[in-house]
Structure 1
Amino acid sequence: MSSITRYLPKNHLSFIMGKLVHLPLPRFIWIPVIKFFSNFYRIKLDEAEKPVSEYESLGDFFIRRLKPGIRPLGNSWAVHPADSVITQLSAIENGNLIQAKNKFYKAHDFLQDSEAFKKYNNGFFVTYYLCPTDYHRVHSPVDGVITKVTHIPGMLWPVNKWSTENIEEMFSINERVCVEIKTDRGFVNAVFVGATNVGYIELSFMPEIKGNHFNVFKPLLKENLNIPIKRGEELGLFRMGSTVVMLYQDGVLPSDKASEVGKLNLKYQNFPVKVNSNFFN
């Protein structure tokens, strides 16, 4: 599998897969497919906003909304942005983020921002992995103002154990959308990372930003924005599962950083979390 992955046309396959799962076929075709998918992966259909019969395609079901109140908003200063598993949680040292054991990537390359080192060095980051069966909408973990959005075209490597351990700086290679939020404690950056079959990234507040478009070759930067955002408010979505990386500026944690990051790591590393649940005060 690993050797084959290197040579597959990942972006083209992802584009085709995205089109296939969103084909507006008759419901008598899609409903059994959605039910099989839900049963196989044990998805809780009672949490979905609509019954299975009302979804137009498997892709439409992937981006399903949840019933109101299913993910109550926690009362901590920061909450978790997605239904996911935390695969990395650590301090940002010398501008480095951990991809896997002995594998790192640079904050300024990842964000395509020359100010990233100054903003986020000595802060901390969290990597959230969304599997294909998770709720695919991403919500803001904090109250603040969206000041900048950067869409960075790139590859669509699968975000799995083999890739993170073998592809150098994979998160800085894959397509991604960075959403910078200014809070009362400092900057926070929510980065949507695309993957194989998951090139479709959409922002709820900026619909013109969409991933996996073959005519987009250069980063698109929208800055000097002033868009208020609340904890728990929807930021965007993936058309299938992927990864969100959250970067927090030094000073966001209210007490001793090293101690607090260590405690958060022990509590959450490789731990499943739900969107809007408490993270840290």
Structure 2
Amino acid sequence: MDKIKVELQHWLPKHALTRLVGKLASARLGSLTTAIIRGFIKQYKVNMDEALHSDPKHFGTFNEFFVRELKDGLRPIADGEAVITHPADACVSQFGPIVDGKLIQAKGHDYTSVELLGGDSALADEFTDGEFATLYLSPSDYHRVHMPCDGVLRQMIYVPGDLYSVNPLTAENIPNLFARNERVVCIFDTEFGPMAQVLVGATIVGSIELTWAGTVTPPRGNTVYRWDYPATGNKSVTFKKGEEMGRFKLGSTVINLFAKDKIRFDDSMALSATTRMGAPFAHIKTEENQASE
């Protein structure tokens, strides 16, 4: 059955299916929308006790439900200037060093940072011998993505591509999955150097939305689009740790890249570990904590 599931993805009209589901997810269908939301909650065991609005009738569209807010204070942001926090509720798919410009996708599969970042080798060089983490958001998760640290947006890159599923089964069987799927790359400058936060699209992910740009939907095609942002002034885009920076309208994956010798992952990081937005993710390396290691 696993082989059949993977092979079907090669043949499915993924873009057409995604556009169709996206339209349905944004449609106001009254009682039908409510019934679909109730079915989804039951199927994926969504914990609505955490939601700011727990009644399915509150949501006018499926998308409104999918990007639902959590109750205030439910995801406290870990204190400490040197603490980097998880950007999302997710599962740790992979994490570790970037070796020879490559990131591990799954056992037996890797891909390059150059491919992930849209073919920009100069940008990829900023993360040479650095660290990466891949976080998978399941259908039941909270689907807003937050900043793991303070940062100033330098560049946003839209990379067109396929829309394969990004669940663990697909990651183990589709080569170059995260470097071939549609994605939005966000490059931030931080007090400890550059950081990339990459939002990866997937089958039936209706869209990726960013707080400063809205829904990112350039014309279909093979063109990579880039937007540069100033570091200061009224057109700059700045964030504090824990602030929302984007959301998935149907779930996917977040990949973070960090520069060489700038961070160490928190002791809680482990393959398949459950993450919660705002909990410790990594720690900025300083002379003081490096001396104690």
Shift of 1:47: 1.7
* Secondary structure at 1:132 match in 2: coil
The aligned counterpart of 1:256 is none
Q: Is the 8 A contact 1:190 1:244 kept in 2?
A: yes
2:124 alignment partner, SS class: helix
Matches of 2:125 and 2:262, distance apart in 1: 14
Using the TM superposition, give the Cα deviation of residue 216 of structure 1 relative to its aligned residue in structure 2, in angstroms. Answer: 4.8
Which whole-Å CA distance do the structure 1 matches of 2:108 and 2:230 have between them? 37
Are 1:186 and 2:187 an aligned pair? no
Q: How far does the alpha carbon of each residue in 1:192-242 deviate from its partner, in whole angstroms, 9 at most, with x for none? A: 0001011511111111x524x653541110114332111111110111111
Question: What's 1:154 paired with?
Answer: 161
Tell me what 1:74 maps to: 78
Match of 1:53, SS state, is helix
Given that 2:6 and 2:173 are in contact with CA atoms closer than 8 Å, whether structure 1 keeps it comes out as: no
Is the Cα contact below 8 Å between 1:185 and 1:251 reproduced in 2? no
Residue among 99, 104, 109 paired with 1:103 = 109
Structure 1: state its 5+ residue gaps.
254-259
Q: Paired residue for 1:8?
A: 12
- Asked if 1:131 corresponds to 2:138, the answer is yes
Residue 225 (str. 1) matches residue 230 (str. 2): yes
One-letter amino acid of the counterpart of residue 84, structure 1: A
Q: Give the percent of matched residue pairs that are identical in Structure 1 and Structure 2.
A: 34
Structure 1 equivalent of residue 46 of structure 2: 43
Distance 2:7 2:276 in 1: 34
* TM-score normalised per structure 1: 0.90
Matched, 1:88 2:94: yes
Q: Secondary structure at the match of 1:162?
A: helix
5+ residue gaps, structure 2 = 232-236, 284-293
Structure 1 CA distance, aligned partners of 2:219 and 2:194?
32
Alpha-carbon separation, structure 2, partners of 1:39 and 1:199: 21
| Match in the other structure for 2:286 | none
* Secondary structure of the structure 2 residue equivalent to 1:46: helix
Structure 1 match to 2:246? 236
Return structure 1 stretches of 4+ with deviation > 4 angstroms.
Answer: none
Q: Which AA in structure 2 matches 1:251? A: D
With normalisation by structure 2, the TM-score equals 0.87
Specify the code of the residue in structure 2 equivalent to 1:189: A
Q: Distance in 1 between matches of 2:252 and 2:262?
A: 26
Taking the aligned partners of 2:239 and 2:221, their CA distance within structure 1 comes to: 27
Q: Is the 8 A contact 1:137 1:236 kept in 2?
A: yes
Measured against aligned partners, the alpha-carbon deviations of 1:93-125 in whole angstroms (never above 9, x if no partner) come to 110000111211110111022223321111110
Given that residues 120 and 249 in structure 1 are in contact (C-alpha distance below 8 angstroms), is that contact kept between their aligned partners in structure 2? yes
Amino acid at match of 1:92: I
Aligned length: 270
**Of 167-176 and 43-52, the range deviating more from structure 2:** 43-52
| Aligned residue in 2 for 1:65 | 69
Q: Which residue in 2 is equivalent to 1:24?
A: 28
Q: Does 1:274 align with 2:276?
A: yes
Equivalent residue runs for 1:196-275 within 5 Å: 196-207=203-214, 209-211=215-217, 215-226=220-231, 227-253=237-263, 260=264, 264=267, 267-275=269-277
Deviations 1:162-191 (A, max 9, x none): 322232211111000011111111111000
Q: Deviations over 1:26-75 (max 9, x none)?
A: 1x222233223223322221221223222012222011111221111111
For residue 142 of structure 1, give the secondary structure of its aligned residue in structure 2: coil
CA distance in 1 between partners of 2:151 and 2:70 (Å): 24
Aligned to 2:291: none
Q: Partner residue of 1:34?
A: 37
CA contact (8 A) 1:84 1:272 kept: yes
Q: Distance in 1 between matches of 2:174 and 2:206?
A: 18
Answering whether residue 129 of structure 2 is matched by residue 122 of structure 1, we say: yes
| Conserved 8 A contact 1:178-1:190 | yes
- Aligned equivalents of 2:179 and 2:244: distance in 1? 24
1:3–1:36 CA distance, 2 compared to 1 (3 A): closer
Write the letter of the residue equivalent to 1:82: A
1:156/1:199 contact within 8 Å kept: no
Q: 1:132: Cα distance to partner?
A: 1.0
Q: Which SS does the other structure have where 2:269 is aligned?
A: helix
Partner of 1:56: 60
On the 8 A contact 1:91/1:122 being kept in 2, the answer is yes
